[in-house]
Structures are given as C-alpha cells and as structure tokens.
C-alpha cells in the first residue's frame, strides 16, 4: 500500500494567503447571522409566552385529546357532514371558476407583452393587494355583504384567487412566443385577433393546468372558511371542536384528508390529460 | 417580383378540406362534451353552495359601499384626509403586527428545523429503510394537508388562548410543507459524493453531513424564506381563532363594525406582506442568484 503524499501545509498557506487568512468580515458573517437568528428566536419564545410548564401541560392535554379522538365516529350526523363536504367542494369549484373567468381579461392588462408599463404597474399592485389579504379575511368581508353561508365562501375564494390567477395568467402570457402574434399582425389582424389567435392558443393549456391545480388547493381553503361562518365543512369542524366532541372532530379531519386526496388524484389525471406530462412545471 | 400562392385544383382541395374537417370535428366533439360536463358540474355546485344571483345583485351594492364605509372616518371624512385619526391605534397595531411576525418567524424556524431533521428519512435516495420512509412521508403529508388553522383551533384548547397555539400550528404546517420540498431537493442531489464518502467507511450521518448537505443547503434556505413569506399571511389570520397576532384585532374590528379600523389594519397587513415579499425576494436574490428562485 502506498502512503498518501505528505502535504506541506506551511507552503500551501504561503501560496494561498487569502484562503487561510480571510478577513474577519467574511469569517464572521455566517456565525453572526446564526447568532442573530437564534437571538430573535429566543426573544420570540420569551415574548410569545413559551414556558416549559405550559408546553408540558399542553402536550399532555393534547395527548388526552388525541386519545379521545379514537375511534373517529360521526355519531348520527353523517348525512349532515356529507352535505357539508359537498358544499365545500361546490364552493371550491365555483370560486375557482369565477376567479379564472374574472382574471383572464385582467391578466391581459398585466402582461408586459400586451400593454405598456404604465397600465401594467397599477394593475399589478392592485392584484398584489388582493393577494396580500388572506382568504379568511375576504370571507369575513363577504359575510358582511351577503350574509352568513356558503355563498360568501364562493365569493371569498373567487376574490382571493382572482389576485393569484391574475399574476399567474399574466406570467403565462408573458412567457408566450411573440412570433405568432407578429404573424397575425402581419396578416392584418387587429389587437383582438392577435390575442385570440396568437396568444390564447399558447396560454390556454397552461392556464387550464393552473386552474385545475387551484381547484385542488382551494378544496383545502374551502374546508376552513367555514370557521368564520362562510359555509362548508369548516363550520361543522369549528363547532365540534368548540363543544369538545373529539370523535366527531377526528372523523371530520379524516373526511377532509380523504376529500383532498381524491381531488388531488382526479385533478392530477385531468391535468395530464389536458396539457400532457411535460408542461407541468 | 411577384410570387403567386399556389392554389390546388378544386377536387384535391375538397378532399383535403373534408379530411381536415373530420380531424377537427372529433376534437371539437370531445371539447364540447368536456365543456358540457363542466357546466353541469357548475350547476350542481351552485345549487350546493346556495348561490343566489339575485342576492349577489341586490347586495353587490353593499360590497362597493362596504369599501366606501371602511374608507370613511366616524366624522364622515375620507380616511386619507386625516392619517392621525385613521391610524389612531397604530401603537397597539404595530405591537400586534410585531407579534404576528414573531409568530411566523418562530413557527417557520421550528418547522424548518423539524423538516430538516425528517427530510433525509423521507427522500428516496437517502432514507435508510423503506418502512421509515413510508412513515415519515405519511406524517409529513398529514401535517401539511390538515389546514394550519384547524391545528390552531385544537391547540388553543390544549395550550390555552394566545400566540403559543399559533406558533405551534404554523410550525406543524411548515414541517409538513418544508419536509416535502426539502426531500425533493435531496432527491435531485448528485449521489456520487455520497458514494465517495461511503467508500471511506463513513457513517450515514457523515454521508448526509459532508455529501448531501453542501449540495442542498442553498435550496433549503430558499424554500424556508419562501415559507416564511407564506406564514406571515397565515399568521395574520391566526388571531381569528384566538391564536394571537393582529388577526384578533381585525376580527374584532370587522365584527363590531369599526369601519375605519378595518381598513387601517388591512392596510397595515398588506404593507407588511409587501415589505416581507420584497425583502425575502431580495435576500434570496443576494444569497442564491436569481435562478434559485422557484
């Protein structure tokens, strides 16, 4: 066996001084960032009232709760829960569709290759502000307008997704190939023709994929907007948690998990059918 | 110079046209069938969701006037004419906002650390045993599918009202989401360094530490920052169920019809979300270059 070659450390040190003697600023950057991150974390724990005793008593409480959750049991309210689940799915489907229909025209005005920057900027900020507000907050606003119930949920999802779709669609439009638009323009098409025959065929499959993906993620949001009173299974869930019916709670959570998994599966299949495997980013 | 466009003889053209129409007709039929199915689903859904267009039209005015009202001060003036009056509670709100940010920071950090500890077991190429991978994956799936606010509702009962429940709810949700994303980065990592280190007789832990970690840490940080951004939004509504932060104040303002407060708190939240988006975007750009942004 050959011996590994001996390394003359001193010589290497002499040859690469800036590797071995880095300035303090670059050596200390990472540790000081870590210390700062940890300091904020520690401050947070103190400021947010974390105490070991609270944690331990809470965990034991949590242990009790999970014990009481077994076995999941809907009691006699299974039909009610199924109805609520259907309501949730309806909210997700309608909300997403409405959002997509509203966002498509607006997204054209937020795309760099369709309109000049001066129009784009305010529209983008408008979409950003809609997105900056959580779906639950929109649900509360709509409850004030149309009253409690699933309809408020539909509108809440529609509005908050409108912000997200506007951004995503406009990005899809910006990613489209300009050559086809130029072709339409060269043959004498109007601006509307350019959009209809040059842009839309390119972006519609992408948009369809995104809409399907959102229906799936909205099933998740739709399950919770009931917590503030906007209909669906969240309403039942929040009620059962408040009255400490833990078996019903675990049954409802199980229902949500199964529904989300089913929607995942179906929309995944549909997505592949519409846009093919490769187009999914 | 003129170039004539070649026009095919009538007969040949008719045959080609017929073939084209036939090809398109099938596609069109499929599209129409799909559309009909979709519309049917929408109709069923609108019955299920008790959609009432008349309500919408009658009350749409309310939607507009709601914004009109939240942008009006008690004195009847527009809010922006008197900033002092509009943001009268800024002292309290900023404090709650700080709490919201702290909730999402602590929650994200706990979630990221847990996800970091778990993701090597969930990734296909590094997991030491199949049963372990299966268990960890199901665990992460559960953590991210159950909405954070549901965890918050339960934790409020277990740990009492206050930000602690919010932090733990966000931590669990982040563990699930980040665990999946982290393990996907690990699955994309190059396995040759691992082989190299394993050939020196190193343990599994050393393989992870010296072969995988240097490849993936940038991606980890990028995803964790992105998650922080999402969690700020999430934390802003944790107060709705009593789990701390600015949401508590917002829900009180909405329920009690303190109109101008609603808009003031909303503006505060939106501006904060903007600032966080911009800052984390900037940090990500600085740390990893633009291509690491996903």
Write out pLDDT tens, residues B190-205.
888 888 888 988 888 8
Q: What pLDDT sits at residue B145?
A: 85
pLDDT confidence tier of residue B291, bands split at 50, 70 and 90: very low
Q: What pLDDT sits at residue A168?
A: 86
pLDDT reading at B294 higher than 60: no
pLDDT reading at B292 higher than 60: no
Q: Do B150 and A260 touch (CB under 8 A)?
A: no
Q: What pLDDT sits at residue B35?
A: 87
Task: Spell out which residues of chain A touch residue B153, defining contact as CB-CB under 8 Å.
Answer: 227, 237-238, 241
The mean pLDDT value of chain B amounts to: 84
Q: pLDDT tens, B227-244?
A: 998 899 889 888 888 888
Nearest-Cα distance to chain A for B50, in Å, is 6
Q: Do B41 and A93 touch (CB under 8 A)?
A: yes
Chain A residue at shortest CA distance from B244: A48
Q: What pLDDT sits at residue B92?
A: 87
pLDDT confidence tier of residue B4, bands split at 50, 70 and 90: low
Nearest-Cα distance to chain A for B173, in Å, is 13
Q: pLDDT tens, B159-170?
A: 888 889 999 999
Nearest-Cα distance to chain A for B27, in Å, is 12
**CA dist., res. B93 & res. B246, Å (int):** 7
Task: Spell out which residues of chain B touch residue A228, defining contact as CB-CB under 8 Å.
Answer: 240, 251
Chain B residue at shortest CA distance from A128: B274
Q: Is B90 helix (H, G, I), strand (E, B) or coil?
A: helix
Q: Which of A251, A246, A252 is nearest to A233 (CA)?
A: A252
Q: What is the pLDDT along chain A (281 residues), one digit of tens a residue?
A: 566 677 778 888 888 877 777 777 777 877 888 898 899 898 888 888 888 888 888 888 888 888 888 888 777 788 888 888 888 888 888 888 889 999 988 888 888 777 777 888 888 888 888 888 888 888 888 888 888 888 888 889 999 889 888 888 888 888 888 888 888 888 888 888 888 888 888 888 778 878 887 887 788 888 888 888 888 888 888 888 888 888 888 899 898 888 888 888 887 787 777 766 554 44
Q: What pLDDT sits at residue A268?
A: 78
Query: What are the distances in angstroms from CA A189 to CA A114, A181, A202, B207?
Result: 15, 9, 17, 61
**CA dist., res. A207 & res. A216, Å (int):** 14
Indicate if the alpha-carbon torsion angle A119, A120, A121, A124 is positive or negative. positive
pLDDT reading at B82 higher than 80: no
Q: Do B160 and A58 touch (CB under 8 A)?
A: yes
pTM of the model: 0.80
| Tokens (6 digits) for A36 | 């700062």
């Amino acid at each position: 066996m050959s011996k590994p070659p001996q390394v003359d450390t001193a010589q290497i040190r002499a040859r690469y001084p800036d590797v071995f003697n880095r300035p303090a600023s670059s050596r200390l950057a990472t540790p000081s960032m870590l210390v700062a991150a940890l300091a904020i974390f520690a401050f947070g724990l103190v400021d947010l009232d974390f105490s070991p005793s609270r944690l331990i008593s809470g965990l034991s409480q949590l242990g009790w709760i999970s014990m009481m959750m077994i076995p999941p049991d809907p009691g006699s309210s299974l039909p009610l829960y199924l109805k609520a689940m259907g309501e949730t799915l309806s909210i997700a489907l309608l909300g997403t569709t409405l959002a997509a229909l509203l966002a498509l025209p607006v997204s054209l005005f937020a795309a760099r290759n369709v309109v000049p920057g001066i129009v784009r900027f305010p529209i983008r900020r408008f979409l950003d502000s809609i997105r900056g507000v959580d779906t639950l907050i929109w649900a509360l606003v709509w409850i004030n307008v149309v009253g409690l119930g699933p309809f408020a949920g539909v509108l809440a999802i529609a509005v908050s997704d409108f912000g997200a779709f506007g951004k995503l669609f406009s990005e899809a439009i910006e990613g489209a190939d300009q050559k086809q638009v130029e072709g339409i323009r060269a043959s004498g098409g109007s601006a509307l023709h350019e959009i209809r025959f040059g842009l839309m065929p390119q972006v519609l499959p992408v948009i369809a994929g995104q809409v399907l993906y959102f229906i799936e993620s909205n099933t998740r949001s739709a399950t919770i907007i009931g917590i503030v009173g906007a209909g669906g299974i969240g309403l039942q869930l929040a009620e059962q948690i408040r009255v400490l019916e833990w078996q019903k709670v675990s049954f409802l959570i199980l229902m949500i998990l199964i529904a989300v998994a089913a929607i995942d599966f179906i929309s995944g299949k549909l997505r592949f059918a519409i846009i093919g495997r490769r187009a999914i980013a | 110079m003129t170039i004539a466009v070649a026009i095919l003889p009538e007969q040949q053209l008719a045959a080609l046209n017929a073939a084209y129409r036939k090809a398109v007709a099938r596609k069109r039929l499929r599209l129409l069938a799909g559309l009909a199915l979709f519309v049917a689903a929408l109709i069923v859904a609108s019955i299920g969701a008790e959609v009432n267009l008349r309500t919408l039209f009658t009350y749409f005015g309310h939607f507009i006037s709601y914004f009109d009202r939240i942008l009006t001060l008690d004195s009847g003036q527009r809010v922006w004419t008197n900033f002092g009056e509009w943001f009268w509670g800024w002292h309290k709100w900023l404090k709650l906002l700080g709490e919201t940010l702290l909730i999402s920071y602590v929650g994200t950090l706990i979630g990221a650390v847990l996800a970091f500890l778990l993701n090597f077991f969930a990734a296909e190429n590094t997991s030491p045993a199949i049963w372990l991978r299966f268990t960890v994956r199901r665990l992460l799936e559960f953590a991210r599918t159950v909405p954070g606010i549901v965890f918050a509702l339960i934790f409020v009962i277990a740990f009492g009202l206050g930000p602690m429940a919010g932090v733990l709810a966000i931590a669990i949700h982040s563990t699930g989401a980040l665990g999946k994303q982290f393990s996907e980065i690990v699955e994309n990592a190059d396995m040759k360094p691992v082989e190299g280190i394993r050939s020196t007789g190193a343990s599994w832990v050393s393989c992870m530490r010296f072969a995988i970690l240097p490849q993936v840490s940038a991606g980890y940080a990028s995803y964790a920052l992105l998650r922080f951004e999402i969690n700020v939004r999430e934390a802003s509504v944790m107060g709705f169920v009593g789990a701390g932060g600015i949401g508590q104040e917002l829900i009180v303002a909405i329920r009690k019809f303190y109109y101008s407060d609603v808009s003031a708190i909303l503006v505060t939240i939106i501006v904060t979300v903007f600032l966080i988006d911009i800052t984390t975007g900037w940090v990500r750009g600085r740390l990893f270059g633009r291509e690491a942004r996903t």
